[in-house]
Amino acid sequence: TINKMNKKTMIHRNYYQLLLIQIMMLMLAFLRTTGASYSRQIRPAFIAHHHQHQQRQQHQVKQHDHHRYTNIRQALHSTTDKSTSDVADVDVGNAVDATKQKNDDGNNNNNNEADEATTYTPPWSTPIIASKKFNNSRFRQHVNPLARRYQMSAELPDNWPASVFTNVRRPMYLDIGCGKGGFLLELVGRRHGKQDEQQLEVTDAATTAAGAATTDDAEDDGATKKFKVIRDDSYMNSTKSYTDTTSDFLPPEMNYLGLEIRPGVSQYSQQRVTKRGLDGILSFVGCNANVDLDRLLSLYQDAINRSSSGDGDGDGGDDIQLSFVSIQFPDPHFKKSHVKRRVVTPALVKTLAKYMKEGDVVFLQSDIKDALEAMRDQFVEGVGLTYYNEWTGDGATATGGDEEYAMENPLGIPTEREVSVLKKGLPIYRTLFKRNKSPFDDSM
């Protein structure tokens, strides 16, 4: 009897096991069918809906940017007759964001290049509008100079450069990659006697003691203050101990031009020129030097020609004199794939040679040895070898060992980056080239 009961129990147990296995197999079959149906129908529909939602969002953003840029342009054109003293600060956020404009003119799409030209606007051409004060942290540290928007020519003021320089026939100092312009502001301020005007002068001693010297502008309350207060910033303080040796390389009277590719930075620098009373001899232009340099120097040459034909009198000759060019601490672009983004290219070297005369100087420096050697290679090979000779005078570049590229700064005045590197006790690598007497050959 016991054996029969055990046998029945085993049979029931096996039956329930088989039933459980069949139920699991049916569930797996159902899941396979459901999953296949999801993959074939539901999932593609969900992805398509998601893509459509993204496209609608992008379209709304483009429309918003287009309408905002159009309103800004209209406001700018309506205020072009106002004096420059009424121009407010630049909104750097708009300078970065409002770089694309939708083409709503209804033109045919037969010419793709023409359509692109009307769709994109140069990033340096954002109008100056009323906004809050600059926030230096909002400036981008790096940009891609090969991006489409940086391949466009910058918009210049009418009658440039005569509209920004008092005498276009003076020799020119060109600083490529000038940043916020602190170096040029300090250089011009020292050389042209403007440094004294930058000191903080107020007639109210109590206001001075209270710390008004740390503000950009002193408000006039009761006509007790007679002078404009200008910020004596930390960079200016840090350069006071350095000796100005520019007279060894630069003529007494010059015009100074700084080029900067980052949007908003050049506009910020130009505002600093007005605050320091350096209008007429110093100016900044936002552009890509590898795109716009030849055009800028050509316009400068045309202005000299018009001036020469007008009165035949001036400090310079009938040709542009690009006396000194400095390229200091450019973006090194470490990645191998980013080497093509570096500022010193054979085309840039050729453009400089086109407008420089025998004895004119190109000064290169960087705190990264590989970056300096990359710039130097462009001047000792190819086109550069034809038109430039590396300087071998006193304090010139050494030829080997630990002293390689250990020349002194020929100008004496350091840049903001240079001050920071020297404080850390790190080396700076420099070299200097002079234009030789080889005539320029445009066919090379």
The secondary structure of residue 366, as a DSSP letter, is E
User: Which residues have C-beta within 8 Å of that of residue 198, sequence separation ≥ 6?
Assistant: 189, 230, 232, 236, 276, 277
| Dihedral-angle region of residue 362 (phi above 0 means left; psi in -120 to 50 means alpha; beta otherwise) | beta
Are the C-beta atoms of residues 432 and 364 closer than 8 Å to each other? yes
Transcribe 262-294 into DSSP letters. Answer: STTHHHHHHHHHHHTT-TBTEEEEES-HHHHHH
| Cβ neighbourhood burial of 417 (10 Å; 0-12, 13-18, 19+) | middle
Amino acid at 346: P
Transcribe 131-142 into DSSP letters. Answer: -PPP-GGGS-S-
Nearest to 378 by CA among 323, 336, 327: 327
C-alpha 140 chain-centroid distance = 8
Are the C-beta atoms of residues 304 and 161 closer than 8 Å to each other? no
Strand order in the sheet with 282-286: 282-286, 255-260, 172-176, 322-328, 361-366, 429-435, 388-390
**Phi/psi of residue 142, nearest 5 degrees:** -140, 145
User: What is the torsional sign of CA 408, 410, 412, 418?
Assistant: negative
The beta strand positions in 127-228, using DSSP E, are 172-176
Of the candidates 331, 360, 367, 394, the residue annotated as catalytic is: 331
User: Which residues have C-beta within 8 Å of that of residue 424, sequence separation ≥ 6?
Assistant: none
CA distance linking residue 151 with residue 289, whole number of Å: 10
Instruction: Based on the residue annotation, tell me whether 86 is a catalytic residue of this protein.
Output: no
**Phi/psi of residue 435, nearest 5 degrees:** -70, 130
| Cβ neighbourhood burial of 323 (10 Å; 0-12, 13-18, 19+) | buried
Task: Give catalytic residue positions.
Answer: 331
